[in-house]
Amino acid sequence: MSLLIPLKKFADSRGWSLNDIYSGKQSEFQINYSILYPGIVKAWHRHKYQDDYFCVLKGMAQVGVYSEGELPEKYFIGEHNPAVVHVKAGEWHGLTALGNEPCGLLYLVTKRYNPAEPDEERADWDKFVLKDFWFPENK
């Protein structure tokens, strides 16, 4: 018999999220979906043990990835450039919606979130890059 599993929504000024969508399955992995509003930079953070896999299903986003000692990378993914960005444990990362529409991010994390011991370190959005890193280039 089929089963309907209600999901809890988390919302704040940056957007909203559905976390641990398939929580009925016992696994180390967790699948989440977030909407990020335009003009918001959701960065930087990193995980010691967890890899992230980002796929933007709605709109477009710029994903930033930074490894200490290297130049930061920019990836432009979404409806018009479908792709998955694999962010490895230890890499700083973040994203921003491109254009005037929110972006919808489906992401898989390889370690289930534990609020008692979060595997997350945060830094300011402009810590590792020039402030214009997160804004569109005019050419």
pLDDT-derived band at 42 (thresholds 50, 70, 90) equals very high
Contacts of residue 86, Cβ cutoff 8 Å, sequence gap at least 6: 51, 52, 53
Backbone CA torsion sign across 52, 53, 58, 59: positive
Strand locations in the chain (E):
9-12, 15-18, 30-36, 41-46, 52-58, 60-66, 73-78, 85-87, 92-98, 103-109, 121-122
Nearest CA to 93 out of 133, 132, 58 is that of 133
Which pLDDT belongs to residue 6?
74
Which pLDDT belongs to residue 3?
65
Does the predicted model carry a pTM greater than 0.75?
yes
Give the 3-state secondary structure of residue 33: strand
Using the predicted structure, report yes or no on whether residue 74 has a pLDDT greater than 90: yes
Give the 3-state secondary structure of residue 131: helix
Using the predicted structure, report yes or no on whether residue 44 has a pLDDT greater than 80: yes
Using the predicted structure, report yes or no on whether residue 2 has a pLDDT greater than 90: no
In the chain, the domains with their CATH numbers are: 16-112+119-128 (2.60.120.10)
H or E segment and range at residue 88: none
pLDDT-derived band at 137 (thresholds 50, 70, 90) equals confident
Which pLDDT belongs to residue 10?
87
